[in-house]
Homo-oligomer: A and B are copies of this chain.
Amino acid sequence: MMPTLKEIVEKPDTVHGRAFDIAIQILIVLSLISFSIETLPHLPPRMRHWLHYVEIFTVGIFTIEYLLRLIIADRKSSFVFSFYGLVDLIAILPFFVWPGVDLRSFRAFRLLRLFRILKLVRYNRAVRLFHRALLIAREEVILFLAVAAILLYLASVGIYYFEHEAQPEKFASVFHGMWWAVATLTTVGYGDIYPITVGGRIFTFLVLIIGLGVVAVPAGLVASALSRARELEKDGEPVLDAAK
C-alpha cells in the first residue's frame, strides 16, 4: 500500500513519516553547520561558494516542506499561525525577503523540531515525567528564583561599596558589581573582575556560602520532584492531580 503524502509529512510514527522527519532533521543540522562554518574568518572563496549552494539547497527543501504541510493541512490558517507553522515560515522567509542578508541564524528556531524525534518511541513518558515534576516543584522553584534574584542584587550592591574605591574602573557601578555577582555565584569565575580589598574578599566568602546553598537547592528539588513524579506515574494518577 502506497503511503499517502499526509502520512509521510504529518505522521512521524509511521515508517515513511519517520524517514521524512529524520531527513528534514539531518538537513537542519547540515544547514546549522554550514551557517557556523560561514562565520569563520579567512574562508577561501571556493568554500564560500559551496556553502552558498548548501544554503540554496536546504532552503529549497524547507520551502517545499512548508508548502507540502500547507497543502495537506485541513485548515490552512490554523497551520500558518500554529507554533511550528510560524517556525517553519521564519526559517525560510529571510532568504526570500533579504536575499543578500545573512539571516540564516533564524533557522536555529528549527532546532525545536528536533524535539519531534524525541516524541517518537517512548519519549512521551520522559517528557510527561518532567512535566509532572515541574508541577510538583513549581512553588519551590519560584520561591528559589526570587531568593536568588534578591541575593544577586544584594551581592552586587555590597561588592560595589567594598570595591568601588579600590578599583574604580572595574567596579564602576552596581551593574558592574552585578556582572561580578553572576560570574561568582554561578562559580564560573572568569577572572576579569574580582575583589582585592579585605572587606570585599570576606564579603565574597559570605555571599558564596549562602549562594552555594541556594544553588544546591534546585538539584535537591528536581531529585525529590522526579522521584515523586515517578511514583505517581506508577500509580496511574493523571498529570493534573500531581500537584495536589
Q: Which A positions have Cβ atoms within 8 angstroms of B?
A: 32, 35-36, 39-41, 105, 108, 111, 114-115, 118, 122-123, 125-127, 129-130, 139-140, 142-143, 146, 150, 153-154, 156-157, 160-161, 164, 168, 172-175, 178-179, 182-184, 186-192, 194, 198, 201, 204-205, 208, 212-213, 215-228, 230
- Report whether B173 and A39 are in contact in the complex, using a CB–CB cutoff of 8 Å: yes
A146 vs B216: C-alpha distance when bound (angstroms): 18
Chain A residues touching B, majority SS: helix
What's the number of copies of this chain in the assembled complex? 4
For A29, the closest partner residue in chain B by CB is B153
- Report whether B127 and A143 are in contact in the complex, using a CB–CB cutoff of 8 Å: yes
- Report whether A175 and B40 are in contact in the complex, using a CB–CB cutoff of 8 Å: yes
Instruction: Provide 30 A-B residue pairs closer than 8 Å at the C-beta atoms, listed in order of the A residue.
Output: A36-B156, A36-B157, A36-B173, A39-B173, A40-B173, A41-B168, A108-B154, A111-B153, A115-B146, A122-B139, A123-B142, A126-B140, A126-B142, A179-B201, A182-B205, A183-B194, A187-B188, A189-B191, A190-B190, A190-B194, A191-B191, A212-B218, A216-B219, A217-B219, A220-B222, A220-B224, A221-B223, A223-B227, A224-B227, A224-B230
